[in-house]
Amino acid sequence: MNALQIGQTLGAIHYKDWMLHVGSDGGRAYLQWKFIGPCAKTERHVVQSCRKWFLSPHMTESELVQTAFAAAVAAEEHECREFFTYQGKRPFQPHVSIHALLAVCDQEDSRTTIGDTA
């Protein structure tokens, strides 16, 4: 797909009041959802930019539309992880350091089965 075809295809996609941004990073085209929403820490409404989804120059119209859909689903999951709280904390928030996760990843929770004969 060329730039005009990408623009036309993405221009026909609508989701909430979000905007699909198309940009270039290192010569590679990408799409990215942007929207105004509350910051999970400050609660101030700011422009939220989702991750970049790089586009292949060989992708079909169907692949492009499916990529935009996958990007919206991933962005919604990201938001859910940021705003879901337990005991006043955000245990599933997506910005935890990988090193912090490694430090606790062996601390598993398990059930104790009483009277289970199977």
Local confidence pLDDT in tens for the 118 residues of the chain: 888 999 999 999 999 999 999 999 999 999 999 999 999 989 999 999 999 999 998 999 999 999 999 999 999 999 999 999 999 999 999 999 999 999 999 999 988 877 666 6
Domain ranges, ordered by start, for the chain = 3-104
According to the 3-state scheme, what is the secondary structure of the chain?
Answer: CCHHHHHHHHHCCCCCCCEEEEEEECCEEEEEEEEEEECCCCCCEEEEECCCEECCCCCCHHHHHHHHHHHHHHHHHHHHHHHCCECCECCCCCCCCHHHHHHHCCCCCCCCCCCCCC
Q: What is the pLDDT of residue 118?
A: 61
Q: What is the pLDDT of residue 3?
A: 85
Q: What is the pLDDT of residue 79?
A: 96
What does the angle CA 27 – CA 36 – CA 55 come to, to the nearest 5 degrees? 25
